[in-house]
Chains A and B, each alone.
Chain A
């Protein structure tokens, strides 16, 4: 099992690094500074991706193999920890972005805002997934009858309780880590907007490179939110379904509740779809090629004496 996971991890990380290398090679850089910037962006993304893939695969592996049995809270926050590492790696890459060289320097007096640089649809999707995760965690916490259990009333004075359920025992660390990842994501997008412009390139080319960095940060962040949400939902759905099916054998036999079974099944169905959607958003390429340096029309410039 562990050999398969390690092999799969190496395959995914290797494939992603190969994709990054190919993406960097195919981009036409207008000058040396642009080439240096592309290389820096590729290294940053490679390190960030290794952190993310490693963390997520560790979470999946721990969940499937039961290595961290009894440490469910740790498993629950592993995706967020991987996301935090991914975002921190991007932030470090952007904070150490190559600046202008030489004794004579110039800069455009243009305003760059985060909203201009982030793809609108992707940004909305990411924040929506983060908000859904918070709402779902709070809902599971409120539905729980104990820190890690959920109960169903059978008749007056009798309840049927099952665990483990993502109540506040799991919910609190997940909420804290989700908010931390969201804040780190927002801060890193601001760093991307403020990092030095690539010297000697057009404003369009520089914005394209910023847009690409912002897209990578958002893609990783939404994947983390989707994986955590899917995991929590799958966990909750399975327990709710079992609660609905009841225990039809033994002295304390309980009846089947079609309502609970239906709710549990729907939550499980949603979990799978959220995971698939998050993975697709993270992996499916978008058509946003670098502006061709030869076709970029140089803008009129005014420089004060």
Chain B
């Protein structure tokens, strides 16, 4: 099974964020397993026709979030977080939200907006550190 990423150059979302979000989603969904290698920055940038710096930033953000690790000579490896009981309930709720969004005919953007709104309503708690 091949795993793909897509970018939309007209999207208001920055390109690095599009790549980061999709790889993070693929890791969470289990399509990318622990130890899987990601393509090199240059190869993925060439395939998508964007600047290597954009992919490098996406990989840096993923590394800061603990989803991948970059090793010299080996490349970038997925370090999928273990599916613990702590994350099971939010994962199930997210799956439920996605299913409901499909049934109601919402677009992906509208579903994302709903989740963002819900997160805003519950206030900001325990923000993860992001690399500057």
Contacts and interface: CB of A to CB of B under 8 A. Distances in A.
Interface of A: 97, 99-101, 103-112, 193-197, 203, 299-305
B48 interface: yes
A299 B46 contact: no
Contacts of A100: 47-49
Contact of B38 (A106, A111, A303): A111
Contacts of B108: 305
Contacts of A111: 37-40, 43, 75
Interface stretch (B3-11, B83-91, B123-131): B3-11
Main secondary structure on chain A at its contact with chain B? Answer: loop
B46 A195 contact: yes
B9 A104 contact: yes
A193 B4 CA distance: 18
A104 B38 CA distance: 21
A302 B7 contact: no
Contact of A197 (B1, B47, B50): B47
B21 A304 contact: yes
Contacts of A301: 1-4
Nearest to B101: A305
Contact of A194 (B8, B10, B32, B42): B42
A105 B54 CA distance: 14
A98 B23 CA distance: 25
Nearest to A198: B47
* Most central of B22, B25, B40, B49 by chain A CB within 10 Å: B49
B69 interface: no
24 contacts: A101-B49, A104-B8, A105-B6, A105-B7, A106-B48, A107-B4, A107-B5, A107-B39, A107-B44, A109-B5, A109-B44, A111-B39, A194-B43, A196-B46, A196-B49, A299-B2, A302-B1, A302-B4, A302-B26, A303-B3, A303-B5, A304-B29, A305-B22, A305-B108
B113 interface: no
A101 B23 CA distance: 22
Interface string B11-47: 0000000000111011001011000011110111011
B39 A105 contact: no
B49 A302 contact: no
A112 B39 contact: yes
A99 B49 contact: yes
Given A100-B49, A111-B40, 17 more contacts: A101-B49, A105-B48, A105-B50, A106-B5, A107-B39, A107-B47, A107-B48, A109-B3, A109-B23, A109-B32, A111-B38, A111-B75, A194-B40, A195-B46, A203-B2, A301-B1, A304-B5
* Most central of A100, A194, A300 by chain B CB within 10 Å: A194
Nearest to B108: A305
Nearest to B3: A109
A203 B108 CA distance: 28
Contacts of A99: 46, 49
Nearest to A106: B6
A300 B7 CA distance: 19
A192 B113 CA distance: 41
Given A105-B48, A108-B2, A109-B4, A304 B22 contact: yes
Contact of A108 (B4, B22, B46): B4
A109 B38 contact: yes
A104 B6 contact: yes
